[in-house]
Amino acid sequence: MRTDDLVAMLATGAGAVEPNAGARRFAVAIGWGALGATLLMGILLGVRGDLAMAVRLPMFWVKVAYVACLAAASLLAALRLSQPGLRLSWVSSALVAPVLAMWLLAASELMRADPTQRTQLFFGETWASCPLLVAALSAPVFVAVLWAMKGLAPTRLRLAGSAAGFVSGAIGALVYCLHCPEMGAPFLGFWYLIGMLVPTAVGALLGPRLLRW
Amino acid sequence: MNPSEERLRNLLILGLAGDEPTYHAFLRELSAHLRAFLRKRLARLPDEVEDLVQESLLAVHNQRHTYNTGQPLTAWVHAIAKYKLIDLLRRRAKLDQFTDPLDDEIDFLSSADNEAADARRDLTRLLEQLPDRQRLPIIHMKLEGLSVAEAARVTGMSESAVKVGVHRGLKALAAKIRGDT
């Protein structure tokens, strides 16, 4: 087939294209993924018993804001990485900022704490299970976001896969906040982050293979 | 700004809104730019140029919903062409032979090459390998120019199946070119 014939073939009956395909596809993916993660949390873990009391503590909302900011920034990164020619620019800083803020808070908590309490602040009660549970809750969003990307056109596949993993980790962590009893900044700054980085690494590994087009 | 950028961008925006002759003009002009861009970078593989022009055109068409109207067209097309170029080079696993820098989107639209050589890969042959539910809608709608309703009548498929068939068929064609199937 000559190139002119291909051009004619592609143009024939091409029709109109709905705008904002990327945003719409991601909205669907995040909606279903978050629903899946919430159901998974409800079935496997259940909401923490003292949630009604926890929501009155400022630290609960600091925790939610930390994870929500990471989810928003990584969602934007994933969306931009799914469309050819869009640069990340300031989005990378928006990803780092919440982590730095949490680390600052953690440092001040550790300094003010009694030396014998510091290990407890860092490890909490649930350090061994927290990263695994966050990673497990990320699975529905992970699958959904990869589906969304598959229908778009990521050109940097490893980075796009990582971003997909990080969004899913952050939304998994957001849902996990409803179950998790931990409130210490050192705990959140380390173990939550590890939990989110697990799907990120899986995404970096799978991206080049799964996202080709 | 490069005058071609402005012109091609306007053609694409009208094309995405459903103006078919304008979309045709966009693809025709774009193919000349793609050819010049790829010929420069595939100096040692001149036989691959036209195949890659066709593969990139198919990619631009299949992924046209990812263009944001606020975005420079050059950046979008360049990213697609570069992705397809790197994909080809990876497929050939001879990356080290190529030393031309790839980051030169600035001059992407400043050169054009309208002399199409023959493609070595025949897309018609690949098209024949697609399953009927994809091949027939493409033949009737895209090659014979029938409307969705007419193509549905001729094939006995529903109108939505015809549309899905065209869409999936063109994506399957791109996958066949990559050697994925």
The pLDDT of residue B64 is 96
**Is residue B1's pLDDT more than 80?**
no
Across the interface, whether the CB atoms of A14 and B31 are under 8 A apart is answered: no
- Please, what's the b/e burial string for B11-41 (b: 16 or more CB within 10 A of its CB; e: otherwise)? bbbbbbeebeebbbbbbbbbbbbbbbbbbeb
pLDDT band at A50 (very low <50, low <70, confident <90, very high): confident
Task: Name the interface residues of A facing B (CB cutoff 8 Å).
Answer: 1-4, 6-19, 21-22, 82-86, 152-153, 155, 212-213
Same domain, B60 and B139: no
d(CA B137, CA B143): 9
The answer to whether residue B118 is domain-embedded is no
Domain definitions of chain A by residue range = 23-210
The pLDDT of residue A38 is 95
Same domain, B75 and B129: no
The answer to whether residue B70 is domain-embedded is yes
- Give the domain range for residue B21: 3-110
Same domain, B101 and B145: no
CATH number of residue B77's parent domain: 1.10.1740.10
Tell me which amino acid residue A124 is.
Answer: G
The pLDDT of residue B139 is 93
d(CA A189, CA A121): 11
Residue A88 has phi, psi (to 5 degrees) of -75, -35
- Over residues A42-59, mean pLDDT: 88
Most distant CA pair in chain B: distance in Å? 53
Chain B residue with Cα closest to A80:
B66
What contacts B123, CB < 8 A, 6 or more positions away? Answer: A1, A6, B54, B173
Which token pair is B157?
Answer: 């498929």
Which B residues in the span 76-95 are in contact with A, Cβ-Cβ below 8 Å? Answer: 76-80, 82-83, 87
Tens digits of per-residue pLDDT, B64-78? 999 998 899 999 999
The answer to whether residue B43 is domain-embedded is yes
Same domain, B87 and B153: no
Q: How many residues does chain B have?
A: 181
CATH number of residue B127's parent domain: 1.10.10.10
Same domain, B149 and B99: no
Same domain, B58 and B11: yes
In angstroms, the separation between the Cα of residue A166 and the nearest Cα of chain B is 22
Same domain, B171 and B93: no
Helices marked H in A17-156 — which ranges? 21-44, 51-54, 58-81, 91-112, 118-123, 130-150
**Is residue B50's pLDDT more than 70?**
yes
Q: Taking the CA of residue A207 as centre, how many other CA atoms within 13 Å lie in the half-sphere pointing to its CB?
A: 26
Same domain, B149 and B104: no
Same domain, B84 and B170: no
Across the interface, whether the CB atoms of A22 and B66 are under 8 A apart is answered: yes
Chain B residue with Cα closest to A209:
B180
B68 CB near a chain A CB, below 8 Å?
A: yes
Q: Which of B23, B64, B178 sits opposite A212 (nearest CB)?
A: B178
B-chain residues near A85 (CB < 8 A): 71-72, 75-80
pLDDT band at A209 (very low <50, low <70, confident <90, very high): very high
Q: How far is CA B162 from CA B127, B138, B144, in A?
A: 16, 8, 14
Q: Which of B24, B59, B87 sits opposite A7 (nearest CB)?
A: B24
d(CA B100, CA B39): 12
Percent of chain A with pLDDT over 70: 100
* Domain final residue, candidates B79, B110, B141: B110
The pLDDT of residue B100 is 56
B164 CB near a chain A CB, below 8 Å?
A: no
A-chain residues near B123 (CB < 8 A): 1, 6
Q: How many residues does chain A have?
A: 213
Tens digits of per-residue pLDDT, B86-135? 999 888 765 455 555 555 565 677 777 777 767 778 888 899 999 999 99
d(CA B26, CA B88): 24
B-chain residues near A149 (CB < 8 A): none
Q: Which of B71, B79, B124 sits opposite A1 (nearest CB)?
A: B124
B13 CB near a chain A CB, below 8 Å?
A: no
B97 CB near a chain A CB, below 8 Å?
A: no
Q: Which helix (H) or strand (E) holds B3?
A: helix B3-16
Same domain, B91 and B47: yes
The answer to whether residue B116 is domain-embedded is no
- Over residues B164-172, mean pLDDT: 94
Tens digits of per-residue pLDDT, A153-201? 999 999 999 999 999 999 999 999 999 889 999 999 999 999 999 999 9
Across the interface, whether the CB atoms of A85 and B58 are under 8 A apart is answered: no
B149 CB near a chain A CB, below 8 Å?
A: no
In angstroms, the separation between the Cα of residue A85 and the nearest Cα of chain B is 4
Chain A residue with Cα closest to B121:
A1
**Is residue A97's pLDDT more than 90?**
yes
Same domain, B75 and B146: no
Number of domains chain B contains: 2
Site of tokens 């923490």: A48
Across the interface, whether the CB atoms of B58 and A21 are under 8 A apart is answered: no
Q: Taking the CA of residue B83 as centre, how many other CA atoms within 13 Å lie in the half-sphere pointing to its CB?
A: 28
Q: Is the distance from CB of A22 to CB of B63 less than 8 angstroms?
A: no
The pLDDT of residue B98 is 53
Same domain, B95 and B12: yes
d(CA A122, CA A143): 32
Percent of chain A with pLDDT over 90: 82
